Structure 1
């Protein structure tokens, strides 16, 4: 094929679709390539898409009964031991007005919907007949000439472009091929996410979680959920289902010789979780590898001549305790990458010097500011004191504090002192306090 595109995007996940939408809106001629049968076909992840970038890509998306499942107005953080669960619970009508601060999405559905929106934008652009979303195609190689990206190869076919955006996801084979990441990311920086989709009658689900209309809940779990393995659990309410799962350290799983599915089954036997999933039917099981959020595993650069990297391919993910953020980072990075390509097109300069503006824009955005500012929090959350001792201490305190007996009631400070002595030490609390104060 002799025709050359302004840009080729590899991967139709959140990052790739956000880039494509931005290019289409700016009348750029591009090719978006996805290896699945449709956008989202290979994506088994999901969760909460935080922030307002979706409203920028699809104005008034909330008026459509498609793509997303529920908006989040109810947040929970739960600390668990084998018998108990102590939950920090926050719900506010402040989150009820669109554009919502977070929406629950199932990626196979959401990505396909967003791809349809991209196609609508392509159809309205000056290159309606020259820009394409091509699915069921595997990109095997980034074509390089004099260390500059000039296109892609798929099978025996080659497609050329002034620029390439790699949005291939966490298995960043192409990022390594072009030399921006030296080797596989070490196992101690990778997590495996496993998830079950559990279906309920919609009314029963809404009654059980006190949902109204399209409101929804997100719940993170620390402690018993991960069965002594680095990580934690999550629960999100979808339209007629819940997503229940775990995110577990790959290295820790291997060293402790534990299997993710066994830990998930044990998590489901906890009294609180057992009540939550009662009468539900498991309709889907999936697993997905994600980055731990440590910026050490990011590629050494996110640009080179003719090339940009965004989304999970750049290992843009963070869990600082308040929320698991990845999709919002992917969306913002895709938008910024595409905006950089638009500017480079205007200058007719796709050199490394021109494209490094993408990394500058990313560093100036909330994405890298958060990743840089909360690295200590990421490390703290993976500390055994936080994942094991603290949940046991908190639950022991809660159990004794809320137990009423026909005998003199102990002061809260006495109960706390007994729980600390039983499960940790004040030195542990001091260290966590100091680290938490610096991290947050």
Structure 2
């Protein structure tokens, strides 16, 4: 395989596959290299893929009998917890029932493999059906550089050359640092550990338990007692016949408090609200992986250089501002925009930084960077002690008072709230929190 490619994509996750699909549909000759035995084989993450970009890559994906997704989201929950109680903001709407869906739950090992098959179909339909490849079970050791410009990759003793390289290697961005776009390891205080169990139920039982209809699904985020005092939060997503239940925990905070992810997850599962949910289920999978915190200070100093573009978690594109955990949608959009930039570069026969800087402009104009830039204060606010502990305790305390009926005079709601505030915070803290939340959200 001595010929030169228009582009080499490193990584067969959501970002790399989105880039590959876009390249194939634009008749580009490319090589996608994936370290696992197949796309998704080493990917243990999962959750909700938000937005409509999937429908752009795979039109009418919802019509496939055995697509790569589990359920569409029409039910959202945000739960605040203390030791014994759970106060939930609950929203469900038939507005979300019509495709293309605003969010679909995916298990990445299944989804990535399915999307890889769609990329292969696009390759087969392109002008380079015999010249573009998805190569699996191969580890990229080095991005080849000449005069500070990417000219290909090295894997073992083999070299493959290309006019451009899209790095979609994920959060363990060794190659991103090798090419000089990130100086060092990201500090632990800006990284999180995601830990998850897949718990299986009879499908009918699961659908009754969560009031699901056909392929409708639910997402639930948790704040407060769930993390046993460690910075972070919990999540629950409904799959076809399983649920994904887990936590995202601050690595530095967990280390300082001498707690393990597994112990914190077991703590989470003992809460009355969670224990009731998982009763009768069978744990069939356990996994953990590192994710970015959403703090843009950890992003590489730039997303491009001569012949190189960074996409997805290799660029630390992830955010949780309290409404949803967004990462896969950012990865997909960045992959699409990077590939579109490479297509334009080929038309000009110019892969210089000046041309590839259009990718940065596209990203800055997209919802990805607008949200990351616009909601940084919300990201920081979410990780404060007030939001992580005091607010959940206060809200649950108020809920217990409000929903308790006794054979005695009932206090006014405002007095219940005052009492809860006095026990867990101060009015001044809440005023400051409200001011910050108003500015950040």
TM-score range, shorter chain: over 0.9
Question: What is the match of residue 58 of structure 2?
Answer: 58
1:414 aligns with 2:437: no
Deviation by residue 1:125-145 (Cα, 9 ceiling, x = unmatched): 000000000000000000000
Deviation by residue 1:281-309 (Cα, 9 ceiling, x = unmatched): 00000001000000000000110000000
CA distance in 2, matches of 1:66, 1:60: 10
1:224-373 matches, cutoff 5 A: 224-373=225-374
1:85 aligns with 2:86: yes
SS at match of 2:346: helix
Question: What is the match of residue 47 of structure 1?
Answer: 47
Deviation by residue 1:311-351 (Cα, 9 ceiling, x = unmatched): 00000000011100000000000000000000000000000
Question: What is the match of residue 188 of structure 2?
Answer: 187
* TM-superposed deviation, 1:2: 2.5
TM norm structure 1? 1.00
CA distance in 1, matches of 2:332, 2:354: 24
CA distance in 2, matches of 1:287, 1:431: 36
SS at match of 2:350: coil
Deviation by residue 1:179-216 (Cα, 9 ceiling, x = unmatched): 00000000000000000000000000000000000000
CA distance in 2, matches of 1:49, 1:198: 20
Question: What is the match of residue 381 of structure 1?
Answer: 382
* TM-superposed deviation, 1:84: 0.2
Q: Give the unaligned 5+ runs of structure 2.
A: none
* TM-superposed deviation, 1:66: 1.8
CA distance in 2, matches of 1:438, 1:120: 47
* TM-superposed deviation, 1:427: 1.3
SS at match of 2:212: coil
SS at match of 2:90: strand
Question: What is the match of residue 15 of structure 1?
Answer: 15
User: C-alpha root-mean-square deviation of aligned residues, in Å?
Assistant: 0.4
Question: What is the match of residue 149 of structure 1?
Answer: 150
* TM-superposed deviation, 1:377: 0.2
1:74 aligns with 2:82: no
1:161-240 matches, cutoff 5 A: 161-240=162-241
SS at match of 2:244: strand
1:139 aligns with 2:140: yes
CA distance in 1, matches of 2:431, 2:192: 28
CA distance in 2, matches of 1:241, 1:428: 40
CA distance in 1, matches of 2:369, 2:152: 28
SS at match of 1:2: coil
* TM-superposed deviation, 1:358: 0.3
Question: What is the match of residue 4 of structure 2?
Answer: 4
* TM-superposed deviation, 1:428: 1.2
CA distance in 1, matches of 2:311, 2:255: 29
SS at match of 2:62: helix
Deviation by residue 1:63-99 (Cα, 9 ceiling, x = unmatched): 0132000000000000000000000000000000000
CA distance in 2, matches of 1:427, 1:13: 46
CA distance in 2, matches of 1:140, 1:102: 35
CA distance in 1, matches of 2:229, 2:392: 11
SS at match of 1:398: helix
* TM-superposed deviation, 1:431: 1.3
Deviation by residue 1:342-394 (Cα, 9 ceiling, x = unmatched): 00000000001000100100000000000000000000000010000000000
Instruction: Detail structure 1 runs of 4+ shifted over 4 Å in the superposition.
Output: none
Question: What is the match of residue 429 of structure 1?
Answer: 430
Q: Give the unaligned 5+ runs of structure 1.
A: none
Aligned pair count reads 440
CA distance in 1, matches of 2:264, 2:304: 39
CA distance in 2, matches of 1:263, 1:309: 33
1:102-117 matches, cutoff 5 A: 102-117=103-118
* TM-superposed deviation, 1:155: 0.1
* TM-superposed deviation, 1:107: 0.1
